[in-house]
């Protein structure tokens, strides 16, 4: 089944994925999990309603009670799965992929990830004929949003006064943001929200909502500057990720957002563990040390971050790719909680976003992620290690290859889904050093 990736299901419509395939996957999911009730949600893509109908049909054909959230975010599916005590959850989404893609995200009870064995069994069983079972039904569960709003509001506390531009990218975020804003206001929050590309529109007339790509940021940057706001937020399609901008329109790099969120969570939970990926770490480790917390490394990917959080009891886990996980949110990723916590930091301390990250940018400059297309990722990493490891002070293999030279370090890792090597370089207070080492590593990688 070509739509199956390492972590979820994603593919091109009419080629990898259609209603018939979605029906079989849903049947297989029900058979593998044995779930009596499954939460279902969908993003704003034009193809999502038909695919969600097919998923619902496949689930009810296995006797499952389908709890339908309708248009919602992935984090709402996570929350509802745990809150309603369902045996699993399915989100129909392709997140930030082009319009001709769609897919599904699958979770088990309590919104926990499926095990590798379960996921593989769903893939294998979806190619087989499964007997129908009686008793299935589809129920309207959209009222669960009120409980989600109450839970998020409890986690973030009172925020403001603050003026924030929010770009929903015509994805699923708009209606949820409106409900959340109302719930926060009832609890005393003072948020003046400037809404941009707010209405869900699966044609994505203003471009695919993927703010991780630099070419997709100028609209938000310009709008932030024009609106005279304290900060800006942009969501991806299913809003399980948010991307932050300071009050001058400057984009906040992923490691700086993780550092800010570590600071916010340690203020609420002193001495806690914080899990983060090993790509860019010094700004994050500095924030954790200053906050009296404990740093825990985990490989990139939600399955690994969530597992590390469970092992360590961490209150928060963050990836520089803008996935942020919270112990008190089922250890799941959320796109709404992070920006509200950062807004709370600004409200409590009086410092602007620029002030919050200025020292991090100065003390720990980094390259941003650089991708290389190579024939053999393993051999390429081995060549780099053979050349540079003898000069390093420390080596770490948590995820790919990390070498620490004292005043600079790098992480080089293979993509989980593409024939790419991903490079990140950082230094201590020396941006010129970052540029020199990127050049050296580029030459070393591209020479082969």
Domain containing residue 58? 9-140
* Residue 257 domain flag: no
Helices (H), 165-281: 173-186, 218-227, 254-268
Condensed to tens digits (0 to 9), the pLDDT of residues 87-139 reads: 999 999 999 889 999 999 999 999 999 999 999 999 999 999 999 999 999 99
Q: Check whether residue 80 and residue 191 sit in a common domain.
A: no
Query: Percent of the chain having pLDDT more than 70?
Result: 99
* Residue 256 domain flag: no
Question: Is-contact 139 61, C-beta < 8 A?
Answer: no
Q: Check whether residue 170 and residue 85 sit in a common domain.
A: no
339 in helix, strand or coil? helix
126-133's contacts with Cβ under 8 Å and 24+ in sequence apart are: 126/1, 126/21, 126/24, 126/25, 126/27, 126/28, 127/1, 127/24, 128/28, 130/24, 130/27, 130/28, 130/31, 130/62, 132/61, 132/62, 133/61, 133/62, 133/63
The CA distances from residue 389 to 82, 369, 382, 445, in Å, are 45, 21, 10, 15
Whichever domain contains 117, its CATH number is 3.40.120.10
* Residue 270 domain flag: no
Condensed to tens digits (0 to 9), the pLDDT of residues 285-308 reads: 999 999 999 999 999 988 899 999
Q: Which of 251, 272, 300 is the last residue of a domain?
A: 251
Largest separation between any pair of C-alpha atoms in the chain? 67
Q: Check whether residue 16 and residue 104 sit in a common domain.
A: yes
Q: Would you state the structure tokens that stand for residue 67, as one six-digit string?
A: 């709890």
Which of 166, 162, 301, 176 lies closest to 235, judged by CA? 166
Q: What letter would DSSP give residue 88?
A: E
Q: Check whether residue 18 and residue 120 sit in a common domain.
A: yes
Torsion on CA atoms 324, 335, 121, 103, rounded to nearest 10 = -140
Question: Is-contact 248 227, C-beta < 8 A?
Answer: no
Q: Check whether residue 160 and residue 126 sit in a common domain.
A: no
Q: Check whether residue 23 and residue 127 sit in a common domain.
A: yes
Catalytic residue of the set 44, 48, 95, 402: 95
List the chain pLDDT tens, one digit each, 448 residues: 579 987 789 999 999 999 999 999 999 999 999 999 999 999 999 999 999 999 999 999 999 999 999 999 999 999 999 999 999 999 999 998 899 999 999 999 999 999 999 999 999 999 999 999 999 999 999 999 999 999 999 999 989 999 999 999 999 999 999 999 999 999 999 999 999 999 999 999 999 999 988 899 999 999 999 999 999 999 999 999 999 999 999 999 999 999 999 999 999 999 999 999 999 999 999 999 999 999 999 999 888 999 999 999 999 999 998 999 999 999 999 999 999 999 999 998 778 899 889 999 999 999 999 999 988 899 999 999 999 999 999 999 999 999 999 999 999 999 876 778 999 999 999 999 999 999 999 999 988 6
Condensed to tens digits (0 to 9), the pLDDT of residues 362-400 reads: 999 999 999 999 888 999 999 999 999 999 999 999 999
Instruction: Give me the numbers of helices (H) and strands (E) for the chain, helices first please.
Output: 14, 20
Please count the structural domains in the chain: 3
Q: Check whether residue 237 and residue 129 sit in a common domain.
A: no
Question: Is-contact 76 105, C-beta < 8 A?
Answer: no
Determine the Cα–Cα distance for residues 130 and 144; give it in Å rounded to an integer: 31
The angle subtended at Cα 43 by Cα 3 and Cα 327, nearest 5°, is 90
Q: Check whether residue 132 and residue 17 sit in a common domain.
A: yes
Which residues are within 8 A (CB) of 256 and not within 5 positions of it... i.e. 6 or more apart? Answer: 283, 357, 360, 361
Q: Check whether residue 35 and residue 127 sit in a common domain.
A: yes
380 as an active site residue: the answer is no
Whichever domain contains 409, its CATH number is 3.30.310.50
Q: How many CB atoms lie within 10 A of CB 387?
A: 12
Q: Which of 228, 251, 274 is the last residue of a domain?
A: 251
């Amino acid at each position: 089944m070509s739509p199956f990736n390492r972590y979820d299901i994603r593919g091109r419509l009419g080629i990898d994925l259609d209603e018939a395939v979605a029906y079989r996957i849903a049947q297989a999911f029900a058979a593998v999990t044995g779930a009596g009730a499954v939460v279902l949600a969908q993003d704003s893509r034009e193809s999502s309603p038909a695919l969600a109908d097919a998923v619902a049909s496949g689930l009810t054909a296995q006797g499952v009670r389908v709890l339908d959230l309708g248009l919602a975010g992935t984090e709402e599916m996570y929350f509802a799965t745990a809150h309603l005590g369902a045996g699993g959850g399915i989100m129909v989404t392709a997140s930030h992929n082009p319009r001709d893609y769609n897919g599904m995200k699958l979770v088990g009870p309590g919104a926990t990830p499926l095990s590798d064995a379960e996921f593989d069994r769903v893939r294998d069983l979806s190619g087989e004929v499964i007997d129908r079972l009686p008793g299935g039904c589809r129920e309207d569960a959209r009222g669960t949003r009120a409980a989600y709003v109450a839970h998020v509001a409890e986690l973030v506390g009172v925020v403001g006064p603050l003026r924030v531009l929010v770009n929903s990218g015509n994805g699923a975020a708009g209606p949820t943001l409106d409900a959340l804003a109302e719930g926060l206001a009832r609890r005393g929050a003072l948020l003046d929200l400037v809404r941009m590309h707010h209405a869900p529109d699966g044609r994505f007339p203003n471009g695919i909502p993927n703010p991780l790509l630099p070419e997709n940021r100028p609209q938000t940057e310009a709008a932030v500057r024009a609106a005279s706001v304290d900060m800006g937020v942009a969501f991806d399609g299913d809003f399980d990720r948010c991307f932050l901008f300071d009050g001058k329109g400057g984009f906040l790099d992923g490691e700086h957002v993780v550092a800010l969120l570590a600071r916010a969570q340690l203020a609420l939970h002193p001495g806690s563990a914080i899990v983060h990926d090993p790509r860019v770490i010094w700004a994050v480790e500095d924030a954790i040390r200053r906050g009296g917390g404990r740093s825990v490394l985990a490989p990139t990917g939600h399955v690994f971050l969530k597992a590390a959080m469970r092992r360590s009891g961490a209150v928060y886990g963050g990836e520089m790719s803008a996935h942020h996980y919270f112990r008190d949110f089922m250890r799941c990723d959320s796109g709404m909680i992070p920006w509200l916590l950062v807004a709370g930091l600004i409200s409590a301390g009086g410092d602007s976003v620029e002030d919050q990250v200025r020292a991090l940018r100065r003390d720990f400059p980094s390259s941003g992620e650089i991708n290389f297309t190579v024939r053999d990722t393993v051999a390429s990493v081995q060549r780099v290690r053979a050349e540079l490891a003898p000069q390093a002070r420390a080596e770490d293999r948590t995820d790919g290859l990390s070498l620490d030279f004292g005043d600079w370090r790098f992480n080089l890792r293979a993509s989980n889904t593409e024939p790419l090597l991903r490079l990140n370089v950082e230094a201590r207070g020396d941006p010129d050093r970052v540029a020199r080492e990127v050049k050296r590593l580029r030459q070393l990688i591209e020479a082969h």
